[in-house]
Amino acid sequence: MLLVPYTMEVALRRFAAIAARPNALRPCATTATALTPSRRQYWTPSRPPPNYPGHIPLNTLEKAALAIGSGLISLANPRRADLIAAFAEATATPYFIYRLRDAMLASPTGRRILRDRPRITSTSLNLPHLRSLPARTVGRTYVAWLDREGVSPDTRSTVRYIDDPECAYVMQRYRECHDFYHALTGLPVVREGEVALKAFEFANTLLPMTGLSVFAAATLKPGERRRFRETYLPWALRNGLRASEVINVYWEEELERDVEDLRRELGVEPPPDMRAERKAEREARKRAREGI
């Protein structure tokens, strides 16, 4: 069963390596004397030049292959963040990323973000300063989540497969803001909470990758799956649909704001507190193991 994902992963790696070469799919430079006696030369379609640094142009067939391959492998191995990022880019066009870009253009704050094109990094945010902020601020809540999970904003993959430079930035912005969505929603750092955040993002952004990620609920333990189905999923869909477009939040300007005030402004209610139920479930499993 592992042979198909492995074979597909090897093919994807080879495809990405070829596509990244400067002369990939350029006309063949072989001399006529090295060809057949008819002296015919064979040509392959030229790849257009990149539209921005790091861009890898793909045709429709190549994008479809990338979407299918990366999607299947991501389902088999959800820890492959690079393939999840590739799937997100391959499935964001031709509609979804443009819809998100238009949502930003329709908002004064979104237009400022598109004009300024800020990047979210550990340097631009000054993480030591965020740790000194009061506990209920957006910045302190955000950096507390980073510290608890042991992650850094510098680890987000760079967009490569979206052709339009402005839309590529929109995808990059969404990707770098993901950890702020944890701070905004207050979802717990547990498996059903992470899947619930993807459901919230799907309802709010409509990006296909976030919808696919919701299927990870099938891998949850029975108790986690029940809490997700009965509590977190209805909350995520309700809040994601009614909330303002979170892509339009200029997070860099909200760091010292009370997170509850921002939630009220955007129309996001705190998720149900399931800590007591999870604790009771852990204690029940412990008693069962001890035979009490």
pLDDT (0 to 100) of residue 276: 59
Q: Is residue 115 over pLDDT 90?
A: yes
Three-state secondary structure call for residue 91: helix
Q: What is the overall mean pLDDT for the chain?
A: 83
- Answer yes or no: is 178 a known binding residue: yes
CA 220 and chain centroid, separation: 20
- Answer yes or no: is 182 a known binding residue: yes
Least confident range from 58-72, 76-90, 131-145: namely 76-90
Place 215 in a pLDDT band, splitting at 50, 70 and 90: confident
CA 263 and chain centroid, separation: 21
Q: Is residue 212 over pLDDT 70?
A: yes
pLDDT (0 to 100) of residue 74: 76
pLDDT (0 to 100) of residue 83: 86
Q: Which residues contact 154 (CB under 8 A, 6 or more apart)?
A: 121, 122
Q: Is residue 10 over pLDDT 70?
A: no
Residue that wins the pLDDT comparison between 190 and 103: 103
* Torsion angles phi and psi, residue 258, rounded to 5: -65, 130
pLDDT (0 to 100) of residue 282: 65
Burial class (CB in 10 A: 0-12, 13-18, 19+), 19: middle
Least confident range from 21-30, 94-103, 146-155: namely 21-30
Residue that wins the pLDDT comparison between 259 and 83: 259
pLDDT (0 to 100) of residue 265: 95
Q: Are 66 and 8 in contact (CB under 8 A)?
A: no
Q: Find, among 57, 54, 32, 53, the residue nearest to 43 by Cα.
A: 32
- How is 92-121 classified by DSSP, letter by letter? HTTTHHHHHHHHHHTSHHHHHHHHH-----
Least confident range from 11-25, 37-51, 90-104: namely 11-25
Residue that wins the pLDDT comparison between 176 and 40: 176
Q: Is residue 253 over pLDDT 90?
A: yes
Apex 260 CA angle, 187 and 243, nearest 5? 70
Q: Is residue 24 over pLDDT 50?
A: no
pLDDT (0 to 100) of residue 7: 46
pLDDT (0 to 100) of residue 167: 97
Q: Find, among 200, 180, 96, the residue nearest to 139 by Cα.
A: 180
Residue that wins the pLDDT comparison between 24 and 253: 253
- Answer yes or no: is 82 a known binding residue: no
The amino acid occupying position 180 is F
Least confident range from 8-17, 67-76, 153-162, 212-221: namely 8-17
- Answer yes or no: is 290 a known binding residue: no
